[in-house]
């Protein structure tokens, strides 16, 4: 099948298939006499595997490791489990950071009158955080109060 058919069947765009080939994530496709890429069911299966791994947030480097494990019939399931558990930890950390950001923005928005006056605690806090060299504005702690990150 051509790259368009492989893209449709795998759910991976033709552009991404070319990219995956370019970076060595997938082997180079066979070529027809006229130079077009040609894919079989095994390549589509591999592309689906990659798409599912990407949907779960695995990086290209991690997917390379997963593909190596997938191809290795002598693999240890403990190795696969370790990769999955590391991904879970990363996701939980990101969720916590995103919740902190949402809490901070919600607190800042609640502190803003939202009227015709120019005074805005949201902008003031962003300015203060930048001026003090902080990476981000005050972050709420899980207890609900703000944690200053260094300088205001």
| Cα end-to-end span (Å), the chain | 61
C-alpha of 117 from chain center: 39
- pLDDT in the model for residue 128: 83
Question: In this predicted model, what pLDDT tens digit does every residue of 91-149 receive, in sequence order?
Answer: 999 999 999 999 999 999 998 888 888 888 888 888 887 555 555 544 444 444 444 44
Q: For 31, phi and psi rounded to 5 degrees? A: -120, 145
Question: In this predicted model, what pLDDT tens digit does every residue of 13-32 receive, in sequence order?
Answer: 999 999 999 999 999 999 99
- Any idea which residue has 């070529």 for tokens? 31
Tell me the CATH number for domain 3-57: 1.10.1660.10
Q: Is 116 helix (H, G, I), strand (E, B) or coil?
A: coil
Sequence ranges of the domains in the chain = 3-57, 94-147
Alpha-carbon gap, residue 69 to 72, rounded angstroms: 5
Q: Is 38 helix (H, G, I), strand (E, B) or coil?
A: strand
Alpha-carbon gap, residue 8 to 107, rounded angstroms: 45
Alpha-carbon gap, residue 69 to 75, rounded angstroms: 6
On average, the pLDDT of the chain sits at: 86
Query: Could you tell me if 100 and 147 are in contact, meaning their C-beta atoms sit under 8 angstroms apart?
Result: no
Q: For 139, phi and psi rounded to 5 degrees? A: -110, 135
Band of pLDDT at residue 63, cut at 50, 70 and 90: very high
pTM over the 0.85 mark: no
Query: Could you tell me if 147 and 141 are in contact, meaning their C-beta atoms sit under 8 angstroms apart?
Result: yes
């Amino acid at each position: 099948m051509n790259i368009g058919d492989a893209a449709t069947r795998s759910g991976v765009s033709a552009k991404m298939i070319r990219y995956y080939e370019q970076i060595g994530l997938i082997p180079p496709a066979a070529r027809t006499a006229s130079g077009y890429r040609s894919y079989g069911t095994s390549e589509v299966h591999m592309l689906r595997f990659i798409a599912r791994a990407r949907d779960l947030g695995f990086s290209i480097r991690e997917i390379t490791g997963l593909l190596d494990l997938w191809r290795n019939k002598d693999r240890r399931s403990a190795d696969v489990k370790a990769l999955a558990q590391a991904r879970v930890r990363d996701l939980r950390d990101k969720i916590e950071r995103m919740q902190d950001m949402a809490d901070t923005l919600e607190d800042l928005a609640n502190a803003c009158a939202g009227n015709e006056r120019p005074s805005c605690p949201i902008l003031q806090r962003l300015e203060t955080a930048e001026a003090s060299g902080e990476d981000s504005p005050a972050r709420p702690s899980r207890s609900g109060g703000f944690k200053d990150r260094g300088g205001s």
